Structure 1
């Protein structure tokens, strides 16, 4: 499978959600946003969950191994950018694995760029 950008998100992937791939593709201690999912019968990436990490996306994705077969991701310079991207993807894709709107990280007053929550 070739690396593609998920339309409208700017995420890299898809990649297999396995430790070796995560080690190869992600950098240490970097904020980021991600989408988990699978390749459907039409060869499209189908999102089942979105999330973000304010400090270490690599560690978060390693913790998610076994919850999906594929992932897409993007690193960000600032944690707030990762949170905002997670919110945008939540509203755009309404993944079945996200029951609630992403929560604001503790100690921040950040709001969702879509609904200002």
Structure 2
């Protein structure tokens, strides 16, 4: 979710308003360790956030899991929290030129094809 996204009710993940804007100078890249998945597989997504501007403070990175993925673990940033269906890495500070890496591992609970190569 982008900078201007609206989380919605904590009781529902369907009332969110997604946005794909980022703070000026912050870039995101996401990769997956697998592209074709079968039920029972684990897949790890890696999100790299790069600050190509002046320092940024209190940045949140959020990765929302598909309905056929079950959260296993996450690492990176200033620590993560999982509130279904999203992993949150909140309150991250970036120095100018800094890149941070965030990962989330999930288990495939149904047929699924990763959209990330």
Query: Same fold by TM (over 0.5)?
Result: no
Which of the pair is proportionally richer in strand? 2
TM-score (norm 1): 0.29
Q: Answer with 1 or 2: which has the greater Rg.
A: 2
Q: Which has the higher contact order (CA 8 A, sep 6+)?
A: 2
TM-score (norm 2): 0.29
